[in-house]
Amino acid sequence: MNISFLDAVIVELDDAFEYYEYQQQNLGYRFVQEVENAIDRISSYPNAWHKFSHNTRRCLVKNFPYGVIYKEHDESSILIVAIMNLHRKPNYWANRIKK
């Protein structure tokens, strides 16, 4: 499965990593590992996660209040649209994708 990321996703991941690492040493690394685990689950079972909008799905990140928002381009590629903090406005990322 080919996984690609919007540029904004990398910024979100970096910001969250820095926040958690500031809170406690190695917590940022644990956060990134859980995001990677979520992306691995998405890659293995892209249709397992519930629809979040008309053309996206969301996989929750274990142990952290985040979700990975993604959309399938076709049967062999997935676009990660957001690493969403569940405490933020729920649709802040919606303008990142075309309807």
The answer to whether residues 97 and 89 touch, using CB atoms and an 8 Å cutoff, is no
Domain ranges of the chain: 2-87
What is the rounded CA–CA span in Å between residue 22 and residue 31?
A: 12
What's the burial of 26, exposed, middle or buried (CB within 10 Å: 0-12/13-18/19+)?
A: exposed
Residue whose C-alpha is closest to residue 24's, from 68, 64, 67, 66: 64
| Superfamily classification of domain 2-87 | RelE-like (3.30.2310.20)
The structure's pTM equals 0.91
pLDDT in tens, 3-37: 999 999 999 999 999 999 999 999 999 999 999 99
Distance between CA atoms of residues 61 and 74, nearest Å: 23
Q: Residue 89's pLDDT is what? A: 84
> What pLDDT, on a 0 to 100 scale, did the predictor assign at position 61?
98
